[in-house]
Chain A
C-alpha cells in the first residue's frame, strides 16, 4: 500500500464534506418530521403526529403519483421499446435525427413544455382537468430515458445475428421480438423502467403548471406544504417522499452495477 500523505487526507476531508453537504439536510429533515417541536430540538420528544397529519391531508397526492408513475411506465414500455428497436436496427442519418428529436423534452425546460401543452390543449376542458394531462407531460419527459436505456443494451448485444438465427429456425417476427429480443434486453428495460418510475414520482417543473386542484401529485403537494404549513409537516411529508423514492434510487444503482458485474464474470 502506498504511503498516504497530506494530500490524501485533504482530499478525503473535502469529499466527506461534500457528502455531508448532500446528506446532512436529508437527515435533518427526516428528524424534523418526527420531532414534536423542531425549534426546541429532540428533547421535545419524537412523534408520528406530523406523518399522520400528512397522511390525512395529502394521501390522495401519494396515490396519484404512484398511479402516474405506473401509467408512465406502461406508456414508455409500449412506445419506447419498439422505438428503441427501430433505432437500433435502422442505420443512417434519419435514425440519429429521430433519436435527437426524442431526447428534446429532456433538454427543453419542463416549464416550456408545460406551457406549450397548455397553449395547445388547455381549452380541451375534459382533458385539461383530468390526470391524463399530467400523464402526457410525464411520458414526454421519461420516454427518452426508456429509449436510451434499451438502445444501449441493444447496441451492446448482437441484435442482428440473434434475430437472423431465430429467423433461420423459422421464428416469425412476433416470436423473435417477444421471445428473443425482449429477453435479451431485460437489463436495459429494467434500468429504464426504474428511471421512468423515479423521475415521474419526482417531476415538479412541468406538473406544477399542468395540475389542477383535483389532480395534485406528491411534489405539488410538497410545494404546497412548504409554502403554507409548519416546518414539521413539510418535513414529515418529505419523509414520506423519501420513503417512496429511496428504494427506487437504491434499485437504480444496483441495476447500473449489474451489467458490468455480469461482463466481468464472462471475461
Chain B
C-alpha cells in the first residue's frame, strides 16, 4: 500500500523525465552513430584534427578559468569569513549576485568592459593613446567565464572557510611558518574539498557554456560553438549529435567524480 503510493507519487516526474530526457538522449546517441562515419563519429573528437583542436582549446580555457576562479574565490572568500567590517553582507551579496545572469548577458557585460565602446578601451585610450579591445577573442571569453564562475564558487568556499580552525594556523605560525607556508600547508588543504566541488562545477559549466561565446564571436573555436555550427551551418546533424553527446558525457562525469571525491574527503575529515 505505502509502496504503491510512493510509486504513484513519483510516476508523473518519471514519465516526463523518461519521455523528454532519457529517450531523446538515447535517440541522440543513435543519430550520432548514423552519419556517414557511423559509430566512428564518436571518436572524431580525438581523431579529427579540427575537433581535437577545439576540444583542447575548450579544456584549456575551462581549466584556466577554474584555476583563476578558485584563486579569486579563495582569497575573497577567506577574507570575507574572517573579517567583520561595514557593508560586509552587501559585498558578499554582490559577489553572488550575477548567479542567474544568462550567458548572453554575461557576454554583453564583457562587451561593456572590453568591447569597442568599452571601459577598458576608453581608459587605455586616455592613458596610452591606444585603444585596447579584447572582448571578441579568447581573452574576452576567459573574462566572461570567470565572471559567471565567481558567483558559483564563492559561497561554497565561504561555507568551507567557516569550518577552518584558526588554532591550526596559529599553531603553524607559532612554529615559525611564514604566512605563505600557512596558506599552502594549512588553509589550502583545509579548503580542498570545497575547491574540488566548486572547481568541478566551474569546469563543467565552462565546458558547456554557449551563450557567452555566442554573444562575443561565433568564430571562437570552443566545443559548444563547433557543435552549434555543425548543426546550423553544415546541417551535419549526426556530427553535432555525436559531439554534444560526448560533451555531455564529459561534463556529467567531471561532476560525478568530483562529488564522490569531495564526499569521501569530507567524510575522511570528519
A residues neighboring B (CB under 8 Å) = 7-8, 11-12, 14-16, 18-19, 21-26, 28-29, 32, 38-39, 75, 78-80, 82-83, 85-87, 89-90, 98, 100-102, 104-105, 107-113, 115-117, 119-121, 136, 139-140, 143, 147, 173, 198-199, 201-205, 208-209, 219, 222-223, 226-227, 231, 234-235, 238, 241, 245, 248-249, 252-253
Q: How far apart are B234's CB and chain A's nearest CB, in angstroms?
A: 14
Contact B72–A18 (Cβ < 8 Å): yes
Determine the chain A residues whose CB is within 8 A of the CB of B110 once the complex forms.
Answer: 25
Docked Cα-Cα span, A208 to B231, in Å, equals 13
Is chain B's binding surface mostly helix, strand, loop or mixed? helix
For this complex, 25 residue pairs linking A to B, each with C-beta atoms less than 8 Å apart, are A12-B83, A18-B95, A19-B91, A23-B94, A26-B98, A79-B16, A80-B13, A83-B12, A85-B9, A86-B10, A105-B21, A111-B224, A111-B228, A112-B25, A115-B28, A115-B227, A115-B240, A115-B241, A115-B244, A119-B24, A119-B27, A120-B20, A208-B214, A226-B108, A231-B117
Determine the chain A residues whose CB is within 8 A of the CB of B215 once the complex forms.
Answer: 223, 226-227
Which residue of chain B lies nearest to A90 when distances are taken between CB atoms in the complex? B6
Contact B75–A79 (Cβ < 8 Å): no
Contact B24–A109 (Cβ < 8 Å): no
Q: How many A-B residue pairs have CB under 8 A?
A: 225
Instruction: Tell which of A98, A116, A140 has the most Cβ of chain B within 10 Å.
Output: A116
Which residue of chain B lies nearest to A106 when distances are taken between CB atoms in the complex? B255
Determine the chain B residues whose CB is within 8 A of the CB of A19 once the complex forms.
Answer: 91, 94-95
Which residue of chain B lies nearest to A207 when distances are taken between CB atoms in the complex? B102
Given the contacts A22-B94, A110-B208, A120 and B17 also touching, CB distance less than 8 Å: no
Determine the chain A residues whose CB is within 8 A of the CB of B204 once the complex forms.
Answer: 107
Determine the chain A residues whose CB is within 8 A of the CB of B7 once the complex forms.
Answer: 86
Nearest first, the 4 A-B pairs at minimum CB distance are: A109-B208, A116-B24, A120-B24, A112-B244
Tally B residues with Cβ within 8 Å of A.
76
Q: How far apart are B25's CB and chain A's nearest CB, in angstroms?
A: 5
Could you say which of B20, B91, B237 contacts A16, with CB atoms under 8 Å apart? B91
Docked Cα-Cα span, A120 to B111, in Å, equals 36
Docked Cα-Cα span, A21 to B146, in Å, equals 10
Which residue of chain A lies nearest to B20 when distances are taken between CB atoms in the complex? A136
Could you say which of B91, B107, B245 contacts A15, with CB atoms under 8 Å apart? B91
Contact A108–B12 (Cβ < 8 Å): no
Contact B76–A98 (Cβ < 8 Å): no
Contact B24–A208 (Cβ < 8 Å): no
Determine the chain A residues whose CB is within 8 A of the CB of B17 once the complex forms.
Answer: 101-102, 140, 143
Contact B244–A109 (Cβ < 8 Å): yes
Given the contacts A25-B109, A83-B13, A136-B20, A112 and B248 also touching, CB distance less than 8 Å: yes
Docked Cα-Cα span, A246 to B103, in Å, equals 16
Q: How far apart are B190's CB and chain A's nearest CB, in angstroms?
A: 17
